[in-house]
Chains A and B, each alone.
Chain A
Amino acid sequence: MKALVAPIDYLAFLVRCLVGSWDLRRTWPRFIAQLSVHGVGALPVVVITSVFIGLTTAVQTTYQLMGVVPKYFVGMGVGRLVLIELAPVLTGFIVAGRSASAIAAELGAMRVSEQIDALEVMGVDPYRYLCLPRILATSIGLPVLVVVTEVVAVFTALFISSSMLNVPAASFTYGVTHFFMMRDFTGGIVKAVLFGLLIGNSGCYYGFHVHGGAEAVGRATTRAVVLSAVLILLVDFVIAFLFFKI
């Protein structure tokens, strides 16, 4: 029964956060502040990760395809892999580890110290004040980070392929551009928006429902990250099935 109720409760929480009064005048500044924390703040680690995604994908794709198919297939493989799968999922994991935990810990500490109760008795909707800006920030910030990952990873792959893997830059570029499909890009972006929504909601959901002290905050943080990671994989499969099933 609990297994049935928990997902409904999770979704009801998301709906409550998104459906209440948005009150843009008041939400906007907090959204910008959260976007700075969860979007701009994640840029350095995302760029570093993207470099290694590009390097590894280029080496692995070359290893798999070299001598079997023309060299431009390396560009195709790297481009489509990064756009469809690697950029959204790996960036999603990074943001989940960084933001879901931070949100859960922050809201959990606010719950423990009665700050959320204080908002409620003051007549300030805590879902609008605390959760909405965070969920919007991760939902809008993550797709932007995914685009950054895609650009950095593909250019890093181009660099290493042409300089160390014996794949000419022109062949690599031809492979990336000739086989580029808009559906790959939009599929990745749709995934990123949904991943962001789930990451923000997981952090808020577990942070909001902390009962107890520091230990409970720690537990909430762990659960928020674990649930985000599992949901990323689940949604990844569903989107793959809907967008890319032949």
Chain B
Amino acid sequence: MIRVEEVSKRFRERVVLDHVSFDVADGATTVILGPSGIGKTVLLKIMAGLLRPDEGRVLHDGRRLRFGRFADNQELTGGLGYVFQGGALFDSLTVAENVSLVLEETTRLGPAEIRSRTDEVLRRVGMAEHAGLYPRALSGGMTRLVAIARALVADPRCVFFDEPTTGLDPAIRERVFEMIRELREHGDRALVVVTHDLEAARLLADYTYMLRVGKLVRADNVRKEDYEQAYS
């Protein structure tokens, strides 16, 4: 479980997060909803230990994340899968190398086992036939699918999705939804999805929160009119 306690973050005068507290339960999908630029990614990065909050703390399974330039949270966040909005694929590595990197660098698995797990996860996301391509040759949707494969290959105990469906065509968008739902149904992973897409929240969420002027409010079953009004 991930616990966020009284986390605040401001950029100059702009308060992005104002004493935000909430829990991310295992075995459930938590969706954080809000329009672009509201601070959802900031919250996600703080939860992953990538960004230092001005106040507050984040606990992964009861252990506190450390922040700072040389802070080493690998033991805590090592089991974390993170699908970045832009993919963040390593452009000097092929699709297969991008996916297998985490296994090569953090496990003692042999090359055959790594190859087999890489192939399997690429098959799951429908990218097996593109394993030899470099990221520059991929479309936005394909990049997102490879990023998801990379996040899942090490079988993480929690997965963060940053705007997983933004800019995708309907077919790939549906495939991403399906994968997130599959993850939710198999295993007790904690899944966190930040999105501005109300439909994604409806389809995926066990728990929904809305981020408004720095505050996080519970918003299960939010209606479209209420969502639009909240940010008008």
Contact = CB atoms under 8 A, between A and B. Distances in A.
A16 interface: yes
Nearest to A33: B92
Most B CB within 10 A of own CB, among A12, A115, A123, A125: A123
A129 B93 CA distance: 14
Nearest to A122: B102
A84 B170 CA distance: 67
Nearest to B73: A120
B45 A117 contact: yes
Interface stretch (B20-28, B83-91, B118-126, B218-226): B83-91
Contact of A120 (B77, B90, B101): B77
12 contacts: A9-B69, A113-B88, A114-B84, A114-B88, A115-B88, A117-B45, A118-B88, A120-B50, A121-B48, A121-B50, A121-B77, A121-B80
**Which 4 interchain pairs have the tightest Cβ spacing?**
A123-B78, A114-B88, A118-B88, A121-B82
Given A122-B154, A123-B74, A117 B106 contact: no
A85 to B, nearest CB: 37
A88 B97 CA distance: 38
A125 B77 CA distance: 12
Interface in B50-72: 50, 69-70, 72
Given A113-B88, A120-B49, A125 B70 contact: no
A26 interface: yes
Nearest to B78: A123
A117 B50 contact: yes
Contact of A118 (B72, B73, B84): B84
Contact of A122 (B69, B91, B105, B160): B105
A123 B101 contact: no
Determine chain A's interface SS by DSSP, over half rule: helix
Contacts of A117: 45, 50, 82, 84, 88
Given A117-B84, A117-B88, A26 B104 contact: yes
B164 to A, nearest CB: 15
A12 B71 CA distance: 13
A11 interface: no
A13 B90 CA distance: 23
Contacts of B48: 121
A117 B80 CA distance: 12
Contacts of A26: 104-105
B10 to A, nearest CB: 16
Given A115-B88, A121-B81, A123-B106, 9 more contacts: A26-B105, A117-B84, A118-B84, A121-B49, A121-B82, A121-B160, A122-B106, A122-B154, A123-B78
Contacts of A123: 74, 77-80, 102, 105-106
B95 to A, nearest CB: 14
Nearest to A15: B70
Interface in A1-21: 9, 12, 16
Contacts of B84: 114, 117-118
In the complex, which of the residues B88, B150, B160 has the most CB atoms of chain A within 10 Å of its own CB atom?
Answer: B88
A124 B102 contact: yes
Interface in A131-148: none
Contacts of B77: 120-121, 123
A39 B80 CA distance: 37
Contacts of B80: 121-123
A207 to B, nearest CB: 14
Contacts of B81: 121
Given A122-B154, A123-B77, A114 B86 contact: yes
A199 B222 CA distance: 55
Contacts of A114: 84, 86, 88
Contacts of B88: 113-115, 117-118
A16 B50 contact: no
A143 B81 CA distance: 42
Given A117-B50, A117-B88, A124 B82 contact: no
Contacts of B74: 120, 123, 125
